[in-house]
Amino acid sequence: MNDNHFKFSTAVVGLPVFFVLFLWIVYWIQIRFDFDFYQNGIYPRDLSGLQGVVFSPFIHENLNHLYNNSIPLLVLLAALQFFYPKQSFAVIGYGILFSGLITWIIGRGNYHIGASGLIYVLVSFIFFKGIQSRYYRLVALSFTVVLLYGGMIWYVFPDVDQSISWEGHLAGFITGFVISLFYKTPEYTKPVVYDWQKPDFKPEEDAFMKHFDENGNFVNIEIAQENAEIISYNFNSDVSVNYVITKSESGDK
């Protein structure tokens, strides 16, 4: 594994900028022409409320709501595109879709709007995918996300702030985790160099591992086999052997 997979491109800047810019254009249209986009948000367990699964991330209540979502989106979308360019559009698309569906199922009877659900998808995906990859740069990215946005975890619980859509936050967090399990990143997997790194490796069949006994001691198999053959060899002979004992002439013995 090398770092050649991390290549800066215009999409690293272009994707988050255009996405956030689109949010601001939608909000400008809303206030400029006095459109009521709130009814296009997610309304749980209502068929007409399903339209919000697609539209709700682009609708915001006020300028403060939009601003608070814009900064995290710029940072997280840039990180996603730089470190996971092959999965970025799938994470965004499926993240919006499935987090919206979960919100539609578990949400309170009210309109749920805003891109915070997608933010939770991105935080969850980047964190869990980095830990799963075990690659030091992605693990470092995971901990960076925790340092920046770790406090957001409290807003997936209902009793923290009833004025926010904690259901959308929880749905986004769950969706990001599931997507991290589904989408593999083989480009960040360490290459298999040795036979013992293979999943189907069997030590008892390996020629080198056979040189070690159950206690981990090195055993020379060739010598051991030769000694075993010598010991087990049965000498049979029909020739009788006679021994003659003579007294030595020198000394007392």
Question: Is 27 a residue whose pLDDT tops 80?
Answer: yes
Q: Count other C-beta atoms under 10 Å from residue 151's C-beta.
A: 9
C-alpha separations of 92 from 19, 69, 203 in Å: 11, 15, 44
Handedness of CA 243, 249, 251, 252 (dihedral sign): positive
Does residue 22 sit in helix, strand or coil?
helix
Residue 253 pLDDT:
47
Arithmetic mean of pLDDT over the chain: 83
Q: What is the pTM of this model?
A: 0.75
Comparing CA positions, the residue from 131, 123, 217, 226 lying closest to residue 170 is 123
pLDDT in tens, 102-133: 999 999 999 999 999 999 999 999 999 999 98
Q: Which two tokens stand for residue 238?
A: 């029909």
Task: Kindly state the average pLDDT of the residues 129-143.
Answer: 89
Comparing CA positions, the residue from 250, 40, 83 lying closest to residue 183 is 83
